[in-house]
Structure 1
Amino acid sequence: MDDPFLIDKMRNEKEGILLWALEGLHRLIQNNYQFTISERTAANLKEAMEQGNNILGFLKSEGYFEIRQGAKCKSTDFYKVYERWCLDNLEKPLAASTFIHHLKDNQKSLGIVYDDKCIGTNRGFHNVDVDLFLPIDVPSPWD
């Protein structure tokens, strides 16, 4: 509900508002002009990112792939396993290019390495082992 007298209330508190703003400015200067992010804000941001990018949920899943030193996986096989995860979890898969770009951009933190010639002349990832017991060639219900 809008307060028609809010400006009058704020006018009466202008000195306090100015002091509050100056205290905030001093904290910001002491923190090298970096805003602090609370744990709650960081958790909310992480949750929002996961809701908008189901690749993050897939990467946290178990049983679909394994990060294992020395393993190799074609990009197409890794994407098919991601599609299977999406099907199992009622998620719509993002485009293959989006999936691969996300993995390439985060390869260091994931412990994987993208290679244009990972398996013969096929692009893929080192240190990724997909679960070969999952049916990889699953028709997509979104086509």
Structure 2
Amino acid sequence: EGANLCPTQGLPKKQRDVLFMCQEMLSEIARIGGGLGFRLIFCTQYPTSDTLPRQIKQNADAKLGFRLPTAVASQVALDEPGLEDLPSLPGRALFKTDRTEEIQVPYLKDTDMWKLLKQYKVVKQHEASNTQTESETNRDFIHFE
């Protein structure tokens, strides 16, 4: 959830600083990563100018939005209204590149997803030291095979 990276005033300064640094890194990936073959997928359920950093949004080659309650929210997500007018059909979305198209994305039930993922197993889990990360698990990544 992209909104988790939104540094709000109620947080301790140290935590806000970490969130600002995360946003800077994501902005860097968005700015130069595309030319190096990296693709950034940034998702949020509640698009506001606070939760959708400008650098990331402006460097996105494509934007995908599902039904939103207002034209203002659609404007934040896609730079144009329209998401508020989508029919209430699960998976109906607007996809914007150089033009905007209404699309239907496939639906995958959780049970089907787990069946597909069952064949994969964890082969390596990197454990970072406490000096590298402050996450509860201290896990940086999990490698699946």
Larger relative contact order, structure 1 or 2 (CA cutoff 8 Å, min sep 6)? 1
More helix by share: 1
TM-score (norm 2): 0.21
TM value normalised by structure 1: 0.21
- Which protein has the larger Cα radius of gyration, Structure 1 or Structure 2? 1
